[in-house]
Amino acid sequence: MISSTFMHAIMVRAYCLLHLPILAMPALAGHRLPSSIVADFEGRGSVGSLTYYFDNKDLVIKYLSPSKSEALNYVVEKFDPCSVMAIYQVPYTRQITIDGSCSSKGGQIFRQIYQWKHAYSNWCLALEITGQKADDLSSTPERSLDVARVLGCAAPGSREPYRYASASETKWQISAAIEALHIVVSDKIALNDYANSVPYYLIEEFASYVDSSNVETLIRLASSLVNSGRALDTISLLQTIDLRFPGIPMAKFILADAYWDSGYEAASAAVYREYYDNAAHQKIDGIPARVFERKGK
């Protein structure tokens, strides 16, 4: 059994490399009256208060910083005419999201994720997340988001050009996180803790780096995520694994579970049938009962 002290050190190292803070619960934005999110955003044991409201098309934010003992004010213009602007805390982190996604089916996903950077004593843009919502929820889901890492410190509402991490920088950071994950998956308790706290966008980033050296580790992570109630967050990763390694029955089985738990029953049934056919061909014993219940004819 790996010691808890060692596992904690590995987890902290991975999160520091990726600039990811610790667990926090989400709060959704209102539309007219001022609302607040209160948390230890700065990671030093003191609570900061972020108050926001919507003034016509603008998102107005005031942050009371415990380290600066003063208020910082920001105004964020609506990203797009179709944007339904919202602000909320990223689950399991100290980060906040300003979400300007469009609400319609097939609409654009556009989110900016900010974190407090002590070097700048300010909220700084850390990630841009883009994608497109599904047109038809009854079809096979396409859960794919593009994640771009942003350097420096562009504050909320800033119109300055952004500086993005290079492909090599991003690859190094994700590779370091996966290396740490190799150790995490060897301990069931540590893996469960990781699955309950890893940010959704990091799972999306893992999908771009699936290869033969890490596929087993990522399958174990995906299984733990589905068992933790985060099926929807695993779909892109599992689709990539199944595409690149179609001969792994367990990956197909977990993908079918993820579809089912996310409400995509038709897509799930098709994958359960593929799993059953592969398992029967490979003479795999102990096919779970839910495969027979859900695969249809």
Structure confidence by residue, pLDDT tens digits, 124-158: 999 999 988 766 656 677 767 899 999 999 999 99
- Please check whether residue 10 lies inside any domain of the structure: no
Q: Are residues 138 and 190 in the same domain?
A: no
Q: CA dist 240 to 131, 210, 211, 283, Å?
A: 16, 7, 10, 25
Q: Are residues 175 and 130 in the same domain?
A: no
Q: Compute the mean pLDDT over every residue in the chain, rounded to the nearest whole number.
A: 86
Q: How far apart are CA 22 and CA 217, in angstroms?
A: 22
Contact yes or no for 94/78 (Cβ under 8 A): no
pLDDT at residue 42, as a whole number: 95
Domain assignment of residue 247, given as a range: 167-294
Residue 239 has φ and ψ, to the nearest 5°, of -60, -40
For the chain, how many structural domains are there in total?
2
Output the pTM of the full model. Answer: 0.83
Average pLDDT over residues 99-120: 89
- The 3-state DSSP class for residue 80 equals coil
Taking alpha carbons only, the member of 208, 243, 187, 253 closest to residue 2 is 187
What's the farthest any 2 CA atoms get from each other in the chain? 67
- Please check whether residue 176 lies inside any domain of the structure: yes
Q: Are residues 157 and 177 in the same domain?
A: no
Q: Are residues 146 and 159 in the same domain?
A: yes
Q: Is the pLDDT of residue 233 over 80?
A: yes
Query: Which of 148, 164, 180 is the C-terminal boundary of a domain?
Result: 164
- Please check whether residue 5 lies inside any domain of the structure: no
pLDDT at residue 253, as a whole number: 96
Q: CA dist 186 to 15, 110, 220, 250, Å?
A: 18, 36, 9, 18
Query: Which of 164, 190, 219 is the C-terminal boundary of a domain?
Result: 164
Length of the chain: 297
Query: Which of 164, 199, 229 is the C-terminal boundary of a domain?
Result: 164
- The 3-state DSSP class for residue 22 equals coil
pLDDT at residue 143, as a whole number: 62
Q: pLDDT, tens digit, for every residue of 56-82?
A: 778 999 999 999 888 999 999 988 888
Contact yes or no for 271/264 (Cβ under 8 A): no
Q: How far apart are CA 18 and CA 35, in angstroms?
A: 30
260: domain CATH number is 1.25.40
